[in-house]
Structure formats: structure tokens, C-alpha cells
Structure 1
Amino acid sequence: MLPLLLASSSAYRRQLLERLRLPFTSASPDIDERRLDDEPAVELVRRLAREKAEALAPSHPGHLIIGSDQVAVLGEQILGKPHTFERACEQLLAASGQHVTFLTGLALLNSSTGHCQVDCVPFTVAMRELDLARVERYLRAEQPFDCAGSFKAEGLGVSLFQSTHGCDATSLVGLPLIRLVDMLLKEGVQVP
């Protein structure tokens, strides 16, 4: 089996990948993550996942490189990482009572052959009705400022949901393991 490399510095993605019990290393790719003019959200995450994997290919020949990228979409608006308390408040209040779709781009690049599998896995969350006091309590408790959409589904963020809809709950956290296993199997990797 070719060595696995996770093209990410995300602790959340590393924790998810550890569930597969396969040895891997991780490295942070250096790419421009800006959205292209009029680029649909699905194409944005697919492109960025692929570019993250490709950015590490020259320095990691003979590897299977996993790239992933995620955005949250509310209507037609892409919700990125809020970075600040104020922006997180705005995002969560805008999402109150709405459906937020998380689009997770996934790429698996064989740096020996150049073969790259790319996909986008959607997952939708129906949000509860939220008021400012509840949002502020949540943000102080969890501080999800590095998370698309301003919440951590693997933590207290689940208390903000009314329901979830999708085929792979791990995609909500940022690395769709079900789809990744499909890709790994196509590369001959046997997952325990």
C-alpha cells in the first residue's frame, strides 16, 4: 500500500481519518483558497480539494494524498469560517430556522500515477429557531470560529440542530469517510 498523506492541518480531519485505523501523515498545503468569479460552491470545494492534494504531490511522490475542503451554504450565500465572535453571531442568527447545506469536496490523488478521484458530498442541517442570547451562550462555550457555518457538529453545535439529512455524517465535520473508503478501495487499499 502506498503511504497515506492528509493534505490538511485540521485537527478535526485528522481525528476523523484516525477512525479508519490506517497509518497516515499530514502536511499543510499552501494554496490560494479564494473563490473564482461566479464559481458555484460545489465546484469551489471540488477544485480546492484537488488543488490541496496536488500541491503536496511534488514533495510526496509515491503517496495517496487526501485533499478536502468544505463550505456551508445558506440559500445562495457561502458561509466561510467566521474567525470572530461578531461574524459567528451574524452567521448563526441568519441560519436560525433555515436549512444550511455543507458541501465537502474530497480528492484522492495517487502521486505515482497522477490518477485523481474527486467528489463533493453534501449534508444538510435544519437549524432550530435561535435567539441572540442562545447564540452568544453557545459561542462563548464552544468558540467555533475556525468552523464553516460557526458551529461544531461534533460538539455542542448539535444542540442547534432540529434535524440532519445526508448520506455521510462525517462529511459534516469535514472529511466524508464513507466516500473516502470507496476511493481508497479503488486504489487497492484494504480498510479494516
Structure 2
Amino acid sequence: MLGKVIQATEAIQGFITVTRFLDEAQKAAVEDILEQCVQAANKKVDDELFGKGRSLPDSECEKEPVVKEKLGPSWARHLGKLKHAVAFECIQMRLSEKFPNNYSVEPRLRKDEITQEVLLTDRWAGSLQPDIVIHFTRNATRIQCIYDLKFPCGYEVANPWTSYVDVQMKSYEKLGGQCPPALVSPQRGVQRTR
């Protein structure tokens, strides 16, 4: 009898968790994880490449990286890709422990022209690929919040919200969601507006 009660309880619990968005406290926990992982990734990559507590001088950011495997044409792009990879690993590890069914890393999404529904796609034309999407349990197309990671190069602590980023955030708004798209940077944390 006890076994049947446990099974019924687990089934109800499973049903409840299958059909929901994260509440405000859970969303705040996600944002804390994103901030921590972005800060840790920024520090780890800089420490490994330039020495503990050091960073690339601002004057070098647009120069070609002097490394064997270049991930971008400039230090800024190269470091951004490295830091994204480290941050994604941290984010996936930490979010999978707490919210395994409510997030996606770099999903490619597009809005259907006819139905106006958001769809997962492998088509590049007309699609967007935000860094992190928090969504309805087990449904990446029912978006709750979109986050894009930004790693300013060098010692730069300027606001990463440039005119290019403004256009990017406006394009993410078209995908919908319960909150405005946000940037996450090591220096400024989560930002929803300029």
C-alpha cells in the first residue's frame, strides 16, 4: 500500500514539474548562477592566459591573437569565445542540478511567419541563437527569459550595451517571453536595459 502511495505522489509531483515556468525565486537563483559562472569564466581564462589577476591590455583587444588555434580574428573575439565555452560548462553543470528541464544553451529559434509560433530550427536564415533561454519545463519554445553573455575585452568596464547589442536584444524580444532579454557580464551582472 505504501508503495502505491509513493508512486502516486511521484506521479503527481512529476506532472506538476512538467507544466510550469520558474517562479521569481527560482528565476533569481538562475540569474545568480549565470552571474557567478560568467565572473568565474572571465577570471579563469584571464588568469590562465595572462597570469593571476591580470587581463589583456585594452590596446591589444583589436589585434590578431598570437595563439596556435585562433577562435576569432581579434583578441576580443578569441577571448569571448573561450570565455563563453567556460561559462557554458559552468552554467550547464549548475543549472542541470537545480532546473534540468527549464533551460537551453544556445538553442536556434525562429518565429514562424504564418503561425507566429516560436520553433526550434537548424536553419540559420531568419533564426536567432541566444546564449541562454529559460523556458517552460521541457519546452524550449515557450520562453520565459533570454540571456546573452558579454565579455568586454581587457580591463574595460564600460557598459557592454552598445548599439549593436541594442539591435540584438530587440531581435530577441520578437521571440517573446515573460521578461525583457538581458545581458550578463562579469563586471555588471544581469542588465535588462542600457
TM normalised by structure 2 equals 0.28
More strand by share: 1
TM normalised by structure 1 equals 0.28
